[in-house]
Amino acid sequence: MLTSIRLLHSPGNIPLKNGVVFLSGEDEVSQLPLDKEQQNFINQRLFKLNKQQVFWTNEKLQLLFVRPIQKKDASYQLEYSRKAGASSWKFLSDFSSPQVFFYGKSERLLLAFLEGLILSSYSFSKYKSKKKQVPDTLEVITDITEEHQIESLLASTLATFEARNLVNEPVIFLDAIRLGLEIERLGKTYGFTTETLDESQIASLRMAGLLAVNAGSEIPPTFTILKHKPKRQRFKKPIVLVGKGVVYDTGGLSLKPTLNSMDFMKADMAGAAAVIGAICAAAKLDLPVEVIGLIPATDNRPGFNAVTPGDVITFANGKSVEILNTDAEGRLILADALIYAQKYDPKLVIDLATLTGAAAGALGKEGAVMMAKAYEEDKSYLKRAGQEVFERLLEFPLWDEYGDQLKSEIADITNLGGATGGAITAGKFLEHFINYDWIHIDIAGPSFLKTGETYKPAGGTGFGVRLITQFLKNICN
């Protein structure tokens, strides 16, 4: 994987070596250190025939020439640059010292191109007996950007790698206890503090949802608190991030069908991974905002003492819940974390969770469902960040009528809505446990891919890390 970038300036004074040449327009072709015949060859194919890539070689050089796709929509133009970077990695990965020569005027296009290239270099090969050797350093030759922009780009992409690693780990390794230890390790690496509460502490806090979901497991739950607290802070109050940490979900006694639905349930902690990755990036960049992460973690198994449909549990805020389906478990552990978040008097709480198949059914892998009780300004910052990194959000309503589906005959509410609006009724459930500004993001669709595409690999995508990191950067400016 690419983990570092060496930035060199003055591309016109550095001879071309094996690598990728990014050209944003015809006028840059004449700047290439090639003879006229070679320049004409490149210009003809890239800009006259409108090819996206042109391969050129002789006995000394192998070069891939790339141009961006022109789009009026800025977010799509940046995304196509990421995809061009992803396809370029296939070419560069065979070189021991890959290089990118950028001849262009747009720093944003360059950074998007590099982002796609770096993200596509990721692989999870921990359990493979044979590992492909690929370069870990990329040389970028350009005058259009500076070191601090490269450092910011690397912080978000490498934090995305951390999230992908966590999602891709099987539960035989990454159980709830191990997740707490991995967070502690990452805290030491990136510079944020951590505290992991054990089962007795969780019980003393009356975290009824986490204890109920964990009841069928032989491995105790954990509740981990991550804190990035810089010396200089933009706001008086912290941003709190909550991530669903179900490290494996069988559905409990409401058992999932095994075919095509349980084999990737190690990914049910992708919300937790996104929160962890975002705090890694925030700490690495030393962003001037206090960020607190809350990770309730457990597996959901149909063990001897497993919670059963029809059981009633009471949360620390006094709300009683009739459990109608043990596979609607994520909202139960998120409720505990949302109650706990109140102690920080937060400016804003954002939770990320692989919460419902309904959200995946609505948007597929192309984006995430968002619901909110927050200021329009905060929502717009988040939506804008989604457009900028192409981790897009679509806001669903929290209309009162959806809450009627959660009515219970014997408790305050149930943990399951009706046959329609499942993503929204899950959000309405969570709404019972907040008393602050709050945004809920259901990442069930884009968090895990069975087949990779462009810069998103098969397995965990790390969706949410770049989104939240960009949001935090935006609100700090």
Provide the token pair at 220. 């105790």
- 195 vs 223: CA distance, rounded Å: 8
- ∠ CA 121-122-124 to the nearest 5 degrees? 145
Q: How confident is the model at residue 261 (pLDDT cuts 50, 70, 90)?
A: confident
Domains 4-143 and 156-476 share a fold: no
pLDDT > 70: what percent of the chain?
A: 100
pLDDT tens-digit series, residues 20-48: 999 988 889 988 888 899 899 999 999 99
Q: How confident is the model at residue 469 (pLDDT cuts 50, 70, 90)?
A: very high
| Residue 260: per-residue pLDDT | 75
**Model confidence at 292: pLDDT above 80:** yes
Provide the token pair at 181. 């230890």
What's the Cα-to-Cα distance from 254 to each of 218, 260, 306, 339, rounded to whole Å? 18, 16, 10, 26
| Residue 82: per-residue pLDDT | 97
- pLDDT average, residue stretch 331-343: 98
- 463 vs 440: CA distance, rounded Å: 14
Q: Residues 328, 339: contact at Cβ < 8 Å?
A: no
Bridge partners (DSSP) of residue 449 are: 459
Q: Residues 2, 92: contact at Cβ < 8 Å?
A: no
Q: Residues 184, 226: contact at Cβ < 8 Å?
A: no
- 338 vs 453: CA distance, rounded Å: 34
Domain borders along the chain are: 4-143, 156-476
Residue entry with tokens 């810069």: 455
Q: Report the CATH superfamily, name and number, of domain 4-143.
A: Leucine Aminopeptidase, subunit E, domain 1 (3.40.220.10)
Burial zone of 461 (CB within 10 Å; 0-12 exposed, 13-18 middle, 19+ buried): buried
**Model confidence at 223: pLDDT above 80:** yes
Residues labelled catalytic: 256, 331
**Model confidence at 465: pLDDT above 80:** yes
**Model confidence at 181: pLDDT above 90:** yes
**Model confidence at 205: pLDDT above 90:** yes
Q: Residues 328, 274: contact at Cβ < 8 Å?
A: no
- 189 vs 280: CA distance, rounded Å: 9
At 185, give phi and psi (nearest 5°): -65, -45
- 361 vs 88: CA distance, rounded Å: 32
Residue entry with tokens 């003055």: 10
Query: Please, which residues have CB within 8 angstroms of residue 249's CB and are 6 or more apart in sequence?
Result: 256, 262, 265, 268, 299, 300, 327, 329, 330
pLDDT tens-digit series, residues 373-417: 999 999 999 999 999 999 999 999 999 999 999 999 999 999 999
| Residue 11: per-residue pLDDT | 73
- 439 vs 422: CA distance, rounded Å: 17
**Model confidence at 4: pLDDT above 90:** yes
Query: Please, which residues have CB within 8 angstroms of residue 450's CB and are 6 or more apart in sequence?
Result: 264, 458
Domain 156-476 CATH assignment equals 3.30.70.380? no
- Could you tell me whether strands 438-442 and 368-373 are parallel, antiparallel, or unpaired per DSSP bridges? antiparallel
Give the total residue count for the chain: 477
Bridge partners (DSSP) of residue 119 are: none
